Chains A and B, each alone.
Chain A
Amino acid sequence: MGDTKSRAPARLKLPLRQVLAILAPYVRKRLVEQVKAVWLIVLYLIAFQTLLLDIPVFGATVIAVGIVLVVVGLTFFMEGLVLGLMPLGELIGIRLPQKSRLPTILAFAFILGVGATFAEPAVGILKVAGSTVKAWEAPLLFLLLNKHSDYLVYAVGIGVGVAVVFGMLRFLYGWSLKPFIYILVPLLLALSIWAAFEPNMIYLTGLAWDSGGVTTGPVTVPLVLALGIGISRVVARDNGSGGGGFGVVTLASAFPIVFVLGLGILFLSSVPKPTSDVDFLDPRNRAQAAPLFESGPAMTGYVLQNASAAGQLAYFGGDREAMRSFLQRLAASDAEQTAVFGADGVARFREWATQKADAAQKLDMFGTADNVRRQADAHWNASGASLNVAEVAVRNAIAALQAIVPLCVLFYLVLWLILKERAARSDELLLGIVFAVIGMTIFSMGIELGLSRLGGQVGAKLPAAFKAIDLTDQRQVIRNFNPDVVQRSIAADGSEQRFFHLKQETDYVALPFDESAFDATARSYTFTPQKGPLYGGPGHLAGVLVVLLFAFVMGYGATLAEPALNALGRTVEEITVGTFRKSLLMQAVAVGVGLGMLFGVAKIVWAIPLIWLIAPPYAVLLYLTYRSSEEFVNIAWDSAGVTTGPITVPLVLAMGLGIGGQVGVVEGFGILAMASVYPILTVLSVSLWSTRRRAARGDA
């Protein structure tokens, strides 16, 4: 009885030159593909900042290195997806319905959904997006983003878990996606419309819709897609060649919105209404305001850093003496500083004392003007922004491992223990997982060092197109500033304008003297250059249009680089045997995201309530969904969940925070939600058009 192993052909050993000759075109092809995906957004951001806004890119070397890292990292990551993660998902999908019963499958689906949420740092993104939210302007939002952010994660996780369960049920029983859409979307819209009339909930809707957009990240989407493809190939109910498998990502974007809104409703009664900071901090309202914070000292720390002067005074009951004695205690005790400012409290206290405390408070804390100056000197000498690359690398590596390994372990456990199988080609699978981890580490590093910084700079300076902004990263502190150097001049309208000369390198530059930037006790002058408005006068339509156009192209360019969309495009092309090309899908989605960004920025600049911008496209979508075929409905709605990923989100956040901060809105949520709606419109339109064209040629 011979065995096949002894007759298997021998393993070929190739000389190194041939190995390199085989590897070279492979590596080059993959790298070129990612360069083609990324070049547009990078070049665009740089060109926009230097040419249109006329501001040099700050820290260009680090950013350039970061961009190279993004390209290399994406190459590894995409290859890892294609080699390892997706075949693993498809294998489980094929085997699971054949070898286990329904309860096991559903339990696995739920664990997968919850696990994917905890693995990918969606909530971290939401917290960054919500970092400008003030506790008194949107109490419910503040509570869910800070003290109760755990509950937020649970809500989102359970939402995704339930979504994956329903997704599996859909495949197993052949349910169409359309009824889910017809029920979920109107429900969400109705909830959002109701929320628009409730002062606390209106700010939460932006967060809820955005949380739906960030859940499905670059690891979850390919895994869930491949799982779905595998399952639908094995289910006997589907008549036809089994072109299903899509639709889970849609549900995983919709269900969390329901759960987050529900969470908000749960906490609605226990938070105060939005009000001014003076009202909020009044001791008479302390019982209502205190639960929003971890502890009393933490609340004090927050108040010192974020409230206006009047608000801070109100916090101490209007009693100046009480504030003074507290501040003296604070300045004297390290333990107190840690309690108030949290971890790293001593450094944070010093930073606050030098930069944010007003003159009276500084005197309170340090006694004399000399002490204040000495304190400021100590701070400036100690601080120095230094880039610790190793720390960045380690942090991102841990995040990548956390995002990928637990899910793979789950899949392997299911494979070995429940399905009792070994994977064929397991060396490729493992290599793929390793590539994915390496790739994710490297591109996350690259995004942090390069793309985010670039986006942050552009985003912060973007409002220069339509209003005057301060260029805070070019802020200079001039120490030992002698007020005698200030001279007087007269303006055309007869008002006196004071100015001084500053020596910059070899030039002597005349700068306006701003009294409020001069700190007499520390004898320092903080000079912040200003820019803009560049197009038209302040708030002029031309400037705003420039910003909207920028948002469109940025959304378009960033989407083309997204790995999850790449994976979806490949899968769609494979399933349709090439009739729906990956490039067509990616272009359609990219245009949709661009449109979404445009409307999202319009929402922030003109403070339009989110519901007005979301309800009409969803209404149109419901109609288009009704008219389209099941296959395209699944693909189109899934492409929405795919868009907001590791490349788009940091750029969107930077832009949103930048503009929002300058325009002075309460919260900058909503752009991500908009960027999720319009791609569905564009993809459905494209598919309807191509179906109409085929029908016109008489294929039916």
Chain B
Amino acid sequence: MPTMRKAAKVTCEVYQGISARALAALAAMGVDWAQVQARRMVTLGERMPLPFLPPATRLEEDPAEACEIYLPAEHARAAVLMLARELRLFTAGRGAVYAEEVELFGPPDSDPCGAGLAGPDASEQPGERLSRFSLINCVVQRGHGNRIARSVLETGANVPSIYFGVGTGVRDRLGLLRIAIPADKEVVSVLVDAQDQHATLEALVDAGRLDQPGRGFVAAYPVPCGVANPMTFRGRQRHGATMEQVIAALDDLKSGTDWRRRSWTSDGTARTDRGWLKHLVNVALNCNEGSSDRLAAIVMAAGAGGATISKAKLFSPGGKDLVASPARAIIDFGFDPDRVDALIQALREGSAFDRESACFVEIKPLSTAFTYVAA
């Protein structure tokens, strides 16, 4: 009888040129279960339209990959450090790695959480610093992702990454008419300093007009430790050091990021009284791709407002044979924590935990979310 157990999820997001090394690092760490998702990272760059005109900023997109692994909670910090060292992520402009606290539920043979690292070492060397972040995910219609990413970049946060997903919702109840309503989504994912969480959320709600129906959904999750990629601008270097290096040096001097706080509500609460949704948890069903439609229907029937389904590839860096199929789907949705048990019961009845679906459930806390809610 599977139970809930605590674990940590470590996500490592790097540019495609580095991703091979990330996978090798995971193999060296003794990780047996890793999930890889194709993403693109969006930065601001410069373009010289004509030699005598001033350069124009434009959005640049580069292919990236995100690897996710699960570890025992006590090894999270060490894993983040090891990956950051191995991939030189403390240097800006390469990628990000961060850990989240989650609860896992599933049968033992699709348990993604390994035994953990051998000899974890969680001490930071000089020049390395892990910070607290908020992970913000914004789900919008396909085609709007770059606009959202641009508004994030212009607030000077870290580099956002974007991946594709498919949304479920009212359209699934319309029969064949549903083909006329686009379900393709883009998910913009960015790490921001914990203290900037609400300012960024506000900016995103405004940029995406998420207070209108059908525009999308934004949520923030706590990230206790991680290293972000602050290099949002990749134009010509005009000075001896980049701004990111200056900021990092000041962070070191001031032992923290408090000095660059921009929003003045001390506990990070919202300035506006929009209908911020709190007291939700984020549930992610990780299953074989062929079962995603069926399980998404169960999820919607159990009361979820809407879910986003994205694809990932599962494989074993250590070369172990996995029960689950390499083609995986992740069904992501916000949910009322009191009804999680009923949801799991419904999943069990829907044979979600059989070998054919090889599903497991990941539950993580959700600080704040926002979407259009019908009155």
A binds B: yes
CB distance from A96 to the nearest CB of B (A): 12
CA A22 to CA B176, docked complex, whole Å = 12
Q: Which of B323-374 contact A (CB under 8 A)?
A: 325-327, 346, 349-350
CA A7 to CA B350, docked complex, whole Å = 12
Please determine whether A9 and B173 come into contact, CB atoms closer than 8 angstroms.
Answer: yes
Please determine whether A12 and B170 come into contact, CB atoms closer than 8 angstroms.
Answer: yes
Q: Are A578 and B162 also in contact (CB < 8 A) when A7-B301, A694-B17 are?
A: yes
A56-99: contact bitstring with B at CB < 8 Å (1 yes, 0 no)? 00000000000000000000000100010000000100110010
CB distance from A151 to the nearest CB of B (A): 41
Please determine whether B174 and A699 come into contact, CB atoms closer than 8 angstroms.
Answer: no
Please determine whether A577 and B164 come into contact, CB atoms closer than 8 angstroms.
Answer: yes
* A489 contact set on B, CB distance < 8 A: none
The answer, yes or no, to whether A574 is at the interface (CB within 8 Å) is yes
* B316 contact set on A, CB distance < 8 A: 236
Partner of B294, one of A14, A424, A699: A424
CA A147 to CA B162, docked complex, whole Å = 58
- For B345, the closest partner residue in chain A by CB is A2
Please determine whether A22 and B17 come into contact, CB atoms closer than 8 angstroms.
Answer: no
Please determine whether A697 and B173 come into contact, CB atoms closer than 8 angstroms.
Answer: no
* B1 contact set on A, CB distance < 8 A: none
Please determine whether A83 and B16 come into contact, CB atoms closer than 8 angstroms.
Answer: no
The answer, yes or no, to whether A19 is at the interface (CB within 8 Å) is yes
Please determine whether A699 and B18 come into contact, CB atoms closer than 8 angstroms.
Answer: yes
Please tell me which stretch of B177-185, B219-227, B272-280 contacts chain A, meaning at least 4 of its Cβ atoms lie within 8 angstroms of it. Answer: B177-185
Please tell me which stretch of A46-54, A240-248, A386-394 contacts chain B, meaning at least 4 of its Cβ atoms lie within 8 angstroms of it. Answer: A240-248
CA A95 to CA B315, docked complex, whole Å = 17
Please determine whether B313 and A577 come into contact, CB atoms closer than 8 angstroms.
Answer: no
Please tell me which stretch of B36-44, B190-198, B248-256 contacts chain A, meaning at least 4 of its Cβ atoms lie within 8 angstroms of it. Answer: B36-44
Partner of A700, one of B17, B297, B313: B17
The answer, yes or no, to whether B51 is at the interface (CB within 8 Å) is no
Please tell me which stretch of B4-12, B58-66, B260-268 contacts chain A, meaning at least 4 of its Cβ atoms lie within 8 angstroms of it. Answer: B58-66
Please determine whether B349 and A1 come into contact, CB atoms closer than 8 angstroms.
Answer: yes
The answer, yes or no, to whether B93 is at the interface (CB within 8 Å) is yes
* A19 contact set on B, CB distance < 8 A: 177
Please determine whether A233 and B179 come into contact, CB atoms closer than 8 angstroms.
Answer: no
CB distance from A176 to the nearest CB of B (A): 15
Q: Which of A332-357 contact B (CB under 8 A)?
A: none
Please determine whether B325 and A695 come into contact, CB atoms closer than 8 angstroms.
Answer: no
Residue of B37, B39, B63 contacting most chain A CB atoms (<10 Å)? B63
Q: Are A9 and B300 also in contact (CB < 8 A) when A23-B180, A233-B326 are?
A: yes
CA A641 to CA B97, docked complex, whole Å = 41
Please determine whether B61 and A11 come into contact, CB atoms closer than 8 angstroms.
Answer: no
Please determine whether A424 and B293 come into contact, CB atoms closer than 8 angstroms.
Answer: yes
- For B23, the closest partner residue in chain A by CB is A239
* A83 contact set on B, CB distance < 8 A: 179
CA A215 to CA B48, docked complex, whole Å = 44
Please determine whether A10 and B36 come into contact, CB atoms closer than 8 angstroms.
Answer: no
* A27 contact set on B, CB distance < 8 A: 180
The answer, yes or no, to whether B83 is at the interface (CB within 8 Å) is no
The answer, yes or no, to whether A579 is at the interface (CB within 8 Å) is yes
CB distance from A687 to the nearest CB of B (A): 12
Please determine whether A4 and B179 come into contact, CB atoms closer than 8 angstroms.
Answer: no
CB distance from B56 to the nearest CB of A (A): 17
Q: Which of A668-700 contact B (CB under 8 A)?
A: 694-695, 697-700
Further pairs besides A4-B350, A79-B179, A236-B326: 5, Cβ < 8 Å? A23-B177, A26-B181, A238-B313, A240-B19, A694-B15
Top 6 nearest A-B pairs by Cβ distance? A26-B180, A241-B38, A700-B17, A699-B17, A424-B293, A233-B327
State the A residues within 8 Å of B (CB). Answer: 1-4, 7-12, 14, 19, 22-23, 25-27, 79, 83, 91, 94-95, 98, 230, 233-236, 238-243, 421, 424-425, 427-428, 431, 574-579, 694-695, 697-700
State the B residues within 8 Å of A (CB). Answer: 15-20, 23, 36-40, 61-63, 65, 93-94, 145, 162-164, 170, 173-177, 179-181, 186, 234, 289-290, 293-294, 297-298, 300-302, 311-313, 315-316, 325-327, 346, 349-350
